Amino acid sequence: MDVQPEEARTFLTDFGHSADSLKTMPDADVVKLHGTVRDAASKHITIDPNKPWYEGFKDPQVKEWLAAYKGAYPNPEAVAQKALNLEKYMGAEKAGRGLIVPKPDSKPEEWQAFWRKVGAPEKPDQYKLPEGLDKDPGMVELRDHAHKLGVPAQLFEGLTGFLVDKIKATDDNDDAEFAARSEKEMNELRQEWKGVEFDRLSELGRRAATAFVPHKNADELEGTLTRIEGAIGTKAMMKLWANIGKAIGEHGFVGGDLPSPDGGMTPAQARIRIADLKRDKEFAAKLAARNTEAMTEWDKLNKIAVQGAIRPQ
């Protein structure tokens, strides 16, 4: 059996020869010594052809594993070849990153260790919550429960991101539908309350809502009215407050831009009067002719409508 000098040196080193002395020994002498030692060693090795080559292995699991392949690995080189092929398939950089999935009835700590390996963070606050929701009680509770279950960070963040986008899309769609429905009902109401009547009843409704809905500021009032509108619809809400306003009467409110006992005009009344005059052809002709009386009234009405109630002197 031919052997290369370097292989012979390695072999002889395993049998106790000095590596330094073997380096200076001529190649021919190293190969010759290799043969001598090999022949001597073989006399003391007994190989039973009826037993597998791995019979002397200490680990019973390894022996059982090799035996299960029924001769597929007839020698150590065949096993080494399998290991090499496996490394080529997986990639050397993945060594040590293999995973063994616990059995369904494994202990919780075994599953926790497994989930850590696949990306579950050490602490709940290491999950990234969607922007603006890191203080939301519901999202924090979901995050803590996800950590208890061992959900990998990438999976948790992907799912919460999808959930937030879905909710936003649904809200946007609901807002669009609400706006379209509200506009339709307002148009229907304009047909039902034609012209000046629409302005008058809308103003009465606004006063009633302002008077009876508890609120600290305009935003709070708007928020409450929006919720009522969402529950019963735009037309129903407008009629509700208009009916309340009519029941109280034009002069039954306290505060706001209501007329004073001396007969002052409110912005709402001014707008109603302006709407009337726009349909008055005779007044329109006077205004076009720059009639002093008509122009004075027109200017006064527009000033009241924009700036607020003006009381008579």
pTM: 0.39
Using CB atoms within 10 Å of the CB of residue 152, give its burial: 0 to 12 exposed, 13 to 18 middle, 19+ buried. Answer: middle
Alpha helices in the chain (DSSP H): 5-14, 19-24, 27-42, 60-68, 76-90, 108-117, 137-149, 153-192, 196-212, 218-232, 234-248, 267-278, 281-288, 292-307
Domain chopping of the chain, boundaries: 5-80, 122-192, 194-252, 257-313
- Write down the pLDDT at residue 44: 61
Reported as a single tens digit per residue, the pLDDT across 59-105 is 888 888 888 887 788 888 888 888 777 777 665 555 556 667 888 88
Reported as a single tens digit per residue, the pLDDT across 143-152 is 899 888 888 9
Record the tokens describing residue 254, joined without a space.
């306290």
